[in-house]
């Protein structure tokens, strides 16, 4: 595995072969998510597995553990997109109501507190607050995406902006660039899914 995780230079950025491979898989995943293709979940599973190794090597244990949870959520999300609608049909895009937002933000804060405490006391990470906060936010966004909630893109945009800074700090420069790209892709996803909501509303009138 060392050959895959050893530092290499790519376009002047310090990275590794495994990080580069994970980068490509992640871009494909988000592109397929924007298009609401269920095959995006397959690429998500593989990219989460490879990024888990990358984050372990960088001592980002919250993000490493998140990849394991993401794999489980991705399997569930794949089923939801195909069979989670009314009558076991494909799931349409919908939005959160006020109560849904309140529950989501409360879950984010509680997740942050639990993860920060665990990372600070049981790992050697040097960024327990940032790792815990962004890990909890990413998990929330992934769960909302699994249910095709439009607001998942809002959370991804906020989380991705902060992740860029974290990965620059951890010298994962290619991954920092990936998350900068994710900000743009998440915005594109938000616009595309908004159109889907409008189309679905017109068809169900």
Does residue 8 sit in helix, strand or coil?
Answer: strand
CA-wise closest residue to 76 among 45, 48, 34: 45
> If you average pLDDT over residues 4-10, what whole number do you get?
54
Selected residue with higher pLDDT from 118 and 86 = 118
Mean pLDDT value of segment 54-73: 83
Polymer length of the chain: 205
Greater model confidence, 17 or 81:
81
With bands split at pLDDT 50, 70 and 90, how would you rate the model's confidence at 125?
Answer: confident
| Residue 87: alpha-carbon gap to chain centroid | 28
Tokens of 4: 């895959």
Spatial distance between the Cα atoms of 135 and 179, rounded to a whole number of angstroms: 14
Give the pTM.
0.82
> What does the CA dihedral 80, 134, 153, 105 come to, rounded to 10 degrees?
80
């Amino acid at each position: 595995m060392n050959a895959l995780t050893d530092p290499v230079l790519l376009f002047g950025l310090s990275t590794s072969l495994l990080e580069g491979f994970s980068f490509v898989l992640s871009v494909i995943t988000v592109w397929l998510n924007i298009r609401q293709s269920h095959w995006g979940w397959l690429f998500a599973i593989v990219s989460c597995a490879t990024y888990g190794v990358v984050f372990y090597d960088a001592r980002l244990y919250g993000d490493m553990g998140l990849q394991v949870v993401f794999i489980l959520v991705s399997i569930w999300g794949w089923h939801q997109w195909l069979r989670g609608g009314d009558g076991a049909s494909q799931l349409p895009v919908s939005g959160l109501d006020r109560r849904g937002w309140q529950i989501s933000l409360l879950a984010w804060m509680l997740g942050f507190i639990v993860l920060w405490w665990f990372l600070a006391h049981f790992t050697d990470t040097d960024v327990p607050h940032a790792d815990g906060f962004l890990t909890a936010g990413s998990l929330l966004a992934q769960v909302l995406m699994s249910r095709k909630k439009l607001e998942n893109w809002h959370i991804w945009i906020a989380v991705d902006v902060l992740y860029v800074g974290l990965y620059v700090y951890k010298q994962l420069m290619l991954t920092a660039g990936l998350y900068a790209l994710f900000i743009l892709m998440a915005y594109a996803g938000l616009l595309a899914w908004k159109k889907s909501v409008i189309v679905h509303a017109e068809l169900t009138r």
